[in-house]
Structure 1
Amino acid sequence: MFHRLANPSLSVRMARWGIAIVALYGLIALITPWLVQAGLLPDPNGGLENPIYAPPSLAHWCGTDRLGRDVCVRTLSGSSVALQVVLIALLLALAIGVPLGMVSGYLGGGVDRLLVLVMDTLYTLPVLLLSVVLAFLLGRGLPNAAAALCVVYVPQYFRVVRNQSAQVKAELFIEAARSLGAGPAWILRRYLFRNVITSVPVLLTLNAADAVLVLGGLGFLGLGLPETIPEWGSDLQQALTALPTGIWWTALFPGLAMFVLVLGLSFLGEGLENWLSGSPVNLS
């Protein structure tokens, strides 16, 4: 997402900021549900007793929305939902795309041509468009949103790993292993995996930033999660009608939360890219 930076100190600062931001969101995602359950924070779906569209105040730091729900709590709860959906989706995409890419790149032949055809077809479709179609077919819900995102990102892992596997299989140590009687399964596990997996963390981090935006786009279009689940995109969609009347807080805080998380993940991806490409980033 970011081009290589000429100033390494700037890259170090970006990596540090990325780690700090992602860690902060992870902490918020972990403790917010517990605080709500313990009664230390109000229910993100409650608010019948609150005034609607109340501006930010000491009682409601980020104001209330059209149903009297606390915008601050819904924004904090949205962190947990976003990270949960994105993490599940990308881990599934990783678990599917990496093995398929290794098998395709190593075996070649008809298997490779078939997998490349399928994955290239999916890859040529715009990410948001493909996710919208899948979300529409699967319906609203957390597992369905994660499944839609998973399918979208599988081709990216497949393409990267497949290309690297095709290069690595021509190396002398692979030929030596084959001459000693090692089978394809052993070579894939023992030799190929450790040589192709190094580029995956960077792709995973940058895909996470992209997936947060795609999930928000699905919610904004009404195809993501049910309204009872706090999610930044759906909250932004609900805030759209009130924004022209001067009610800015219902859109500002969910949008700002999404923007900062995407920025942090992008910074983290840049730091990982520098480190894994041979330009170490000293984070100490």
Structure 2
Amino acid sequence: MRSSTRASAIPKAAADSASRPTGTLSLLVRRFLRNRLSLAGLMILAVWIAVALLAPVLAPHDPSDVNLEVRLLPPGPGGWLGTDYYGRDIASRIFYGARYDLLISLFAVGVALLSGAPIGVIAGYRGGRVDNLIMRVIDVIMAFPALVLAMALASVLGPGLEKAILALAIVGMAGYARLARASTLSTREEVYVEAARALGAADASVLWRHILPNIISPLVIRGTLGMGFTVLLAASLSFIGLGAQPPTPEWGAMINEGHNQLITGSWWVSTFPGLAIMSLVLGFNLLGDGIRDVIDPRLHTV
């Protein structure tokens, strides 16, 4: 009788163990769905992604069409959001501009994360002179304000969208490296890491199987929040002429082209691109805060 009970308990325990990851995932999903602000951020981003994908369908005009006969028209039947100094439809340019700003944030943050995180992991895991050398370089980079450093790098690299993305990636790389190093320093002292070393596991195996999976969460949170900040930096570079160049319908460049019209009363030329930037940054920030609230165990009581 005991043996049959014990035998039946083994499959049950195995089933519980197998279902644990699924249960954890469902718990995280439920926490996320209960957070209204994070859902609002997700909806904002979903709307802008849909706008970017469907821009050719949604845009009433070609974003580069110049028609001086209808320039500086206010919002109305002649244009949903009005026209700019060259008679280009502002709504169409905002729809197409969503593609540029989303891609800038995605590529800049992606390159910064994929290059900075491994550097930080190596510094934290190896320690010693390697750690000291890497951290001194990171300290120098982070000693400058992000916008000032981005402007300096963009000035050296030259104006252009691709060069602006590279400059933003270099600026963001140091932050991800420092975060990855700090997370690695705390994780490498855990019992399971020490046990893996004692069993003779190679450094590459320890990093890949035990350290990287446990430092992903803070990197994902910082990456989501960083995308909103990157949108602001990219718009700032375009505004001062170091990012996207006319006639590219990037939102920061649109504000630069229309800020002179504020004096003449044509407020819509710069206001609507500015509102688009604000909403996209808000969406990234709300989503990042929501992800942090969901996966940070310190914010939940057991």
Assess same fold via TM > 0.5.
yes
Q: Which secondary structure state, in structure 1, belongs to the residue aligned with residue 257 of structure 2?
A: helix
How much has 1:49 moved relative to structure 2? 5.7
Identity of aligned residues (%): 35
Asked whether the equivalents of residues 237 and 243 of structure 2 are also in contact (C-alpha less than 8 Å), the reply is yes
* Structure 1 position 42 matched with structure 2 position 64: no
Match of 1:51 among 70, 74, 82: 70
* Structure 1 position 186 matched with structure 2 position 205: yes
CA distance in 2, matches of 1:142, 1:28: 21
How much has 1:181 moved relative to structure 2? 1.2
Q: Which secondary structure state, in structure 1, belongs to the residue aligned with residue 47 of structure 2?
A: helix
Bigger fraction of residues in helix: 2
Asked whether the equivalents of residues 123 and 155 of structure 1 are also in contact (C-alpha less than 8 Å), the reply is yes
Aligned pairs for 1:19-38 within 5 A:
19-32=42-55, 34-35=56-57
How much has 1:119 moved relative to structure 2? 0.9
Length-normalised TM-score, structure 1: 0.91
Match of residue 165 from structure 2: 146
Match of 2:35 among 5, 8, 12: 12
Asked whether the equivalents of residues 123 and 156 of structure 1 are also in contact (C-alpha less than 8 Å), the reply is yes
Match of residue 112 from structure 1: 131
1:151-190, Cα deviation, whole Å (9 max, x unpaired): 0111111111101101111112111111111111111111
Aligned pairs for 1:63-74 within 5 A:
63-74=82-93
Match of residue 7 from structure 2: none
Asked whether the equivalents of residues 68 and 86 of structure 2 are also in contact (C-alpha less than 8 Å), the reply is no
How many residue pairs align between the two structures? 269
1:105-163, Cα deviation, whole Å (9 max, x unpaired): 00001111111011111111101001111111111222111101100111111111101
Structure 2 gap segments, 5+ residues each? 1-30
Q: Which secondary structure state, in structure 2, belongs to the residue aligned with residue 67 of structure 1?
A: coil
Q: Which secondary structure state, in structure 1, belongs to the residue aligned with residue 163 of structure 2?
A: helix
Match of residue 17 from structure 2: none
Length-normalised TM-score, structure 2: 0.85
CA distance in 1, matches of 2:64, 2:217: 42
Match of residue 251 from structure 2: 232
* Structure 1 position 220 matched with structure 2 position 242: no
1:238-258, Cα deviation, whole Å (9 max, x unpaired): 111110111011011100100
Structure 1 gap segments, 5+ residues each? 1-7
* Structure 1 position 93 matched with structure 2 position 112: yes
* Structure 1 position 253 matched with structure 2 position 276: no
Match of 1:205 among 216, 224, 229: 224
Asked whether the equivalents of residues 50 and 69 of structure 1 are also in contact (C-alpha less than 8 Å), the reply is no
Amino acid at match of 1:16: L
How much has 1:101 moved relative to structure 2? 0.9
Q: What RMSD in Å do the two structures reach over aligned CA positions?
A: 1.8
How much has 1:48 moved relative to structure 2? 2.5
CA distance in 2, matches of 1:274, 1:105: 26
Higher relative contact order at CA 8 Å, sep ≥6: structure 1 or structure 2?
A: 1
